[in-house]
Amino acid sequence: MKMALFFPELFLLLSCLVIFLLTLGKMRSSTVRNITAALSIIAFLICAGSLRLEGDLFFKAYRIDLFSQLFKLAITGGVALLLLFSRELKGIEETIRAEYYLFLLLSALGLVMLVSSVELLSIFVALELSSYALYLLVPMRDDHSGLREQMEAGIKYILFGVVATGIMLFGMSYLFGLTGTTYLSELIPAMNQVIGTPAAIVGIALVMGGFFFKLGLFPFHFWLPDVYQGASNETTAFIASVPKLGAVALLIRVATLAAPSAATLVNLLMILAVCSMFYGNLIALVQKDIKRMLAFSGIAHAGFVILGIITLKDTGFASAIYYITGYMLMNLACFLVICNVSVKGENLAISDLTGLYKRAPLLAFTLAVGMFALAGIPPFVGFMGKFMLLAGALKEGYLTLVILAAINTAIAIYYYLSVVRVSYCTDPEERPALTVAPLTQVISIVLVLIIIIMGVMPAPVVDIATAAVRGIM
Amino acid sequence: MQDFLIMNTLGYPILSLLVFLPLAGVIPLLILKNDAAAKYWTLFITIVIAVISLQLYFKFDKTTALYQFGVDHAWIPMWDIRYTLGIDGISLLLILLTTMIMPLCVLCSWNYITTRVRPFLACLLIMETSMLGVFMALDFVLFYILWEAMLIPMYLLIAIWGGPRKIYASIKFFLYTLAGSVLLLVAIIALYMKNGTFSIPMMMGQDYSSVFQIYVFLAFFLAFAIKVPMFPFHTWLPAAHVEAPTAGSVVLASVLLKMGTYGFLRFCLPITPEASIFFMPYILWLSIAGIIYGGFTALAQQDMKKLIAYSSVGHMGFVTLGIFVFNAHGIEGALLQMINHGVTTGALFIIVGMIYERTHSRELALAAGVGKFMPVYVTFLGFFSLSSLAFPGTNSFIGEFLVLAGAFAKSKIVAACAIPGAVLAAAYMLRMLQKVVWGGTNNPDQSYLADLNVREIITLAPLLLFVLWIGLNPAPFMDVMHASVNHLIQQVGIADAGPQGILEVAKLAIPH
């Protein structure tokens, strides 16, 4: 039954329609939120149920396989977690909160469709669906600072985004021109014939550019710090975590075009990865605003993920999937704390976390786990991901790259540690104690547990990711 | 089943039990609301662990160099990472030292720590898990995970419960040790690429090329030399020691520093013997530099904790000296000296902590002349000071004697250069002892000081017992290491006979 294959997307689409109807009425925003959260949990459960489905839809432009279903599971899971812990949308005005949830779900729907798309045009359409919803989320923030910085961030986001899309389309035209097809399944053998030619390399690199933008890889990173800063905390939590899953999924799909070997492309990616890591980590060292710091740390992490892509091997791709899933969870843990510490939805300086251990011990602990995990300290998921990426890259002989990446983890520890230091080693002075809703407490404990368990027992996740990657190669 | 491992036959997985019991002990701390109850619970669990660990000594087979009490399970099949634990003569005493010192750490923090007591105890227990795991791990990834994971509780111990400059000291500690070990990870993966396994014993005695060995050795060396710490990588140590709470200093001095030298013995020598021989002269001279430098700097200190911290640099110089002379006397002496340093320096830090609790100062001048009012205290201080300067009859004498005997067998010049270190040790320890016991004519008023209470005597007495026991009858401690040390020397010796060119280089740097 073909309908069953499309069920997660259909359900999300239906959810969007439901929310859309709600936006027309005068329902209280908390009710809308509860409905959205419930719908996202159901979507997550549906994705879990359809994990093992397989099949093609829409003239084979849309493929359901373990790879896509795994990503769908992670994406809907991330959205559900996010909706559960961002209890009230502090940075968004009451009147447009219902619309906010609509666009959030639409963006999630776009990402869910993106990871299943195996044809260039459907990839493009799905990507735009998720992007345009996001472009709208950013300026929906209330004008708390009086500087209209959310508008600035929104404009930056959409301008850079459109340029990146243009670059990607240009690359797709190369691929189509070279091979005469837009189907990935037909592109892979056709590209193998011409992979040595400059046009093929340029085409693949340009297509990847569109996803580098989503991932925030150097030199497509310019929007990251400003958008993180300008968007409300909840929006940033979403932008920082979930779309990066989609980006990595599509990078892997595009990278399979270049497998098993493409030295020029690999060299290019290596340079981008190294630049990304050094740039992100060095600039993060001097940040005062925690969201900006996480933005630069995100650029560095994007460089790390590339370590898995350049292996062009199933193990490397699987490590990249594991890493980006872990990254999403670590980021969500950090943003859970940021969203809850920020009283009126304002931006937080790192110094605003002063004495957090006294104001909200659980939040301080979650933040510490998140930061140590992002820094790649065992036994958390960040370490295992880092370890597997380094091991995979070294297996392919990229020793210099691995050493540079290792040095970067040593640089990065300083700014992660300074957040822990501020929250644990200083007194709160006059800052009031924080009340944390029971549901948020549960979510933060769940996140901490997943971060630890995935770090100590990575085998199940890596096994399923490897199986998923083998299916598409 | 791997042939380097003798599986555990005790009927219960003793090593896994020892590793995970402290971690399990954290759970009640989360539930208990009462600080006093939490302290008693932590004391209880650490004593239970110490008692269980005694089994290791009594059931240890001294005749074999294989790893005993083995546990081996698949962990991450994709990378062939296994959960493998086992101990030999090199790690046995270090494990016992760790389990024995932990109850004393709880005892010496009884009144010292007044804020956030339960998190403090939890950090101590997590430390114990990772420290024991490091000494037992026979899989390199398992080792690395525990080695790194330890940074978090240790960082928190210094950063939360430390002294006035705790933030500087804790970040320096974290950055130094982490920066040292990132390349260790690269070296571990490189070794995996060569061998297809992360099993540490299976990496030993393989036929690696000289260049590969040298790179791997350098990565190892950076990580371990920072941890030891060897001159000139030692600057984090005085800061961390001075700012850490007493229990933190004790854990740091007694156990953490040993991990560096343990790393040399477990990894550098057997995995990269050729490179070890190549770098031997440099490391010997760095050790000498550490001994002399540590001695002179200790002599100039006014802060008692700093004095002992710098004396650690000197003492650890003796340990690395003993390891890198590559003979049985040197390595056994170094191993014994590791234990001795753990006992004696741990005790000295506890002693400084006791005076700090009373006077709220670690200044030598402010602690002058307490002998009149605290006779029991200065008696303990006297014994441990003598032990620290390697007075005959105490534990350090045996260790230092063996190290020097080994050094003389290797090279008279190197050994002769280490001798002033022993003299300096006497100078700075006696200076402190004299000041604290008698002082001078202008002593501050110390009449308000109360002598040690029962808890404090119980804290110090076991350490004193070991000082005298090892000093007068070292045989029970030496017996367990012979087989493993001989095996280790054979592993290095194979390379020793091999590449003549490297040996010639070594001879040039060290005149015989």
Q: What is the pLDDT of residue B500?
A: 45
Q: Chain B: residue nearest A318 by CA?
A: B78
| Top-confidence residue, A429 or B300 | B300
pLDDT digits 0-9 by tens, B422-474: 899 999 999 999 988 888 888 888 888 888 889 999 999 999 999 999 999 88
Do B166 and B159 meet the contact criterion of CB atoms below 8 Å apart? yes
Confidence of residue A263 (pLDDT cuts 50, 70, 90): confident
Instruction: State the pairing for strand pair B67-76/A62-64.
Output: unpaired
A444 near A373, Cβ under 8 Å?
Answer: no
* Alpha helices (H) along A195-289: 198-215, 223-230, 233-258, 263-284
| Burial class, B208, CB count within 10 angstroms (exposed 0-12 / middle 13-18 / buried 19+) | buried
How far is residue A251's CA from residue A264's CA, in Å, rounded to a whole number? 16
- Measured CA to CA, the distance from residue B494 to residue A281 in angstroms comes to 45
Residue A98 pLDDT exceeds 80: yes
Q: Is the distance from CB of A187 to CB of A237 less than 8 angstroms? A: no
pLDDT at B502 exceeding the cut of 60: no
pLDDT at A260 > cutoff 80: no
Give the per-residue pLDDT at B2.
62
Buried b (16+ CB within 10 A) or exposed e, A120-151: bebbbebbbbbbbbbbbbbbbbbeeeeeebbe
- Using a CB–CB cutoff of 8 Å, tell me whether B166 touches chain A: yes
Q: Residue B186 and residue A425: Cβ atoms within 8 Å?
A: no
Which of the four pLDDT bands, split at 50, 70 and 90, describes residue A261?
low
Interchain contact B27–A (C-beta under 8 A): no
Reported as a single tens digit per residue, the pLDDT across A451-462 is 999 999 998 899
Long-range interactions of A258-261: CB distance < 8 A, separation 24+: A258/A191, A258/A195, A258/A204, A258/A312, A259/A312, A259/A313, A259/A473, A260/A312, A261/A195, A261/A312
CA distance B130 to A250: 39
Q: Write the CB contacts of B479 (distance below 8 Å, at least 6 apart in sequence).
A: B62
- pLDDT, tens digit (0-9, with 9 covering 90-100), for B99-137: 999 999 999 888 888 888 889 999 999 999 999 999 999
Q: Which residue from B minimizes the CA distance to A369?
A: B152
CA of B95 vs chain A CAs: smallest distance (Å): 22
CA neighbor of A304 nearest in space, from A291, A286, A319: A319
Report the domain count for chain A.
Answer: 1
Model confidence over B24-52: pLDDT tens digits? Answer: 999 988 888 888 899 999 999 999 999 99
Q: What length is written for chain B?
A: 512
- Residue of A313, A369, A413, A425 for testing the chain B interface, max B β-carbons within 10 Å: A425
Q: Give dist(CA B457, CA B350) in Å, integer.
A: 11
pLDDT of residue B499: 43
- pLDDT beyond 60 at B510: no
Examine the pLDDT at B506 and tell me if it is beyond 80.
no
Q: B236 Cβ partners below 8 Å, 6+ apart?
A: B169, B172, B173, B176, B177, B226, B229
Q: Is the pLDDT of residue A433 over 90?
A: no
Tell whether B150 is within 8 A of chain A (Cβ): no
Radius of gyration for the alpha carbons in chain A, expressed in angstroms and rounded: 21
Q: Give the integer Cα–Cα distance in Å for B59 and B72.
A: 19
ipTM score for this prediction: 0.89
**pLDDT tens, residue by residue, A44-65:** 998 888 888 888 888 888 888 8
Give the H/E segment covering residue B408: helix B395-410
pLDDT in tens, A293-330: 999 999 999 999 999 988 888 889 999 999 999 999 99
Instruction: Pick B231 or A290 by higher pLDDT.
Output: A290
Supply the mean pLDDT for chain A: 88
At residue A164, the 3 state secondary structure works out as helix
Cα distance from N-terminal residue to C-terminal residue, chain B? 46
Whether B16 contacts B72, CB under 8 Å: no
pLDDT at A144 over 90: no
pLDDT at B494: 54
What angle, 0 to 180 degrees and rounded to 10, lies between the N-to-C axes of helices A198-215 and A290-309? 150
Inform me whether the C-beta atom of residue B300 falls under 8 Å from chain A C-beta atoms: no
Residue contact B79–A388, C-beta within 8 A: yes
- The mean per-residue pLDDT over the stretch A166-183 comes to 90
Question: Which whole number is the average pLDDT over A182-202?
Answer: 83
Task: Provide the shortest C-alpha distance from residue A156 to chain B (in Å).
Answer: 36
Q: Domain limits at B444?
A: 5-509
How confident is the model at residue B511, as a pLDDT?
A: 47
Helix (H, G, I), strand (E, B) or coil at B133: helix
Secondary structure (DSSP) of B32-77: ---HHHHHHHHHHHHHHHHHHHHHHHHH--TT--SEEEEEEEEEEG
Digit-coded pLDDT (tens) for B395-429? 999 999 999 999 988 888 988 998 888 899 999 99
Kind and range of the H or E run holding B83: strand B81-87
What is chain A's length? 473
